[in-house]
Amino acid sequence: MTLYEAELVVERRESVADGVLALTLRHPLGEELPSWEAGAHIDVVLGPDLERQYSLCGDPADRRAWRVAVLREPDGRGGSAYVHGQLRQRDKVRVRGPRNHFALKPAPRYRFVAGGIGITPILPMLAAAEEAGAEWTLLYGGRTRESMAFTEELGRYGDRVRIAPQDETGLLDLASVLDGAPEGTLVYCCGPGALLDAVEERCPAGVLHVERFQPKAQEAGGNTEFEVVLERSGQTLTVPSDASVLDTVRAAGVEVLFSCTEGTCGTCETDVLEGTPDHRDSVLTDEEREAGETMLICVSRCLGKRLVLDL
């Protein structure tokens, strides 16, 4: 699939909470941007070897602008520090996308749970659920009320939204929104790993959909060497125990899109033609893993001796 890629202009840069900046991006010539649906994200190229993924949190009906929000992370890997410290209004950034691994599936009712900057993909989901006539509620937590973005926008939804800053209410009361939910309810959650893990413990299979900003902890296991056949390139390569499929493919001179290298963004998702992947990502659903038709080659490996990939 060919993704849209272009240089966009930072039309607006505004503080929407303590430590959170919202950026409004437009095409310099005023051209329309690709359509997107709630849950989608874009890749933003901030510099050489500095590329990050941000959820779109604006209005999908507005084809002239994309909005993202960026949390300043003092212990991050440099992306948020660049956005907060160096990126200015009227600067240009290269973007690619949108992609969506967190799409809102049709349902009669939803329970949304967001923690901190995890509100960004959830925000357009509320509008989509509202437009679809679904019944929904949102439980939104953060460290403090001042650190929680878009609370003013959320005010229009009234008591369907519960704002729960930790310094005022303690840990999120997940039982109040998840336990006893009627059949047919889907749960969408985004936020810190500890919150996602806690929500997973309360939700039966098939009900929960999550998006992780950090990779999910994997069970410790040894890596073994295996063979990967690149069908379109006509190459057969050996993936050693101390390298990823992505590393091996790139070392052989094959161009492939990638970004996070942690299995969280989905950029390097690749079709599997033969073989059984050892999925170690934090993106694919249980159903997608079971099907084994794609894999994220930055972290996932092979359960056998050989994989054939559409590369």
pLDDT of residue 213: 79
Instruction: Assign 287 a pLDDT band (cuts: 50, 70, 90).
Output: confident
Torsion of CA 117, 119, 120, 123, to 10 degrees: -160
- Given a cut of 80, whether residue 153 has pLDDT beyond it is yes
Predicted local distance difference test score (pLDDT) of residue 282? 85
For all residues of the chain together, what is the average pLDDT? 93
Q: Of 52, 47, 61, which Cα lies nearest the Cα of 128?
A: 61
CA–CA distance, 54 with 45 (Å, rounded to integer): 11
Q: Is the predicted pLDDT of residue 1 greater than 60, yes or no? A: no
* Pick from 62, 52, 66: nearest CA to 8: 66
Residues 6 or more apart whose CB falls under 8 angstroms from that of 139 comprise 111, 112, 113, 114, 162, 164, 172, 173, 174, 176, 177
CB-CB contact of 281 with 296 (8 Å): yes
57-94 tens-digit pLDDT: 999 999 999 999 999 998 877 899 999 999 999 999 99
Q: What is the Cα–Cα distance from 292 to 304, expressed in whole angstroms?
A: 13
Question: Collapsing DSSP states into helix, strand and coil, what is residue 99?
Answer: strand
pLDDT in tens, 95-113: 999 999 999 999 999 999 9
Is pLDDT at 267 greater than 80 in this prediction? Answer: yes
Distance spanning both ends of the chain, measured CA to CA:
12
Task: Pick 205 or 244 by higher pLDDT.
Answer: 244
Residue 221: CB partners within 8 Å, gap ≥ 6? Answer: none
Tens of pLDDT, residues 23-51 = 999 999 999 999 999 999 999 999 888 89
Q: What is the pLDDT of residue 40?
A: 97
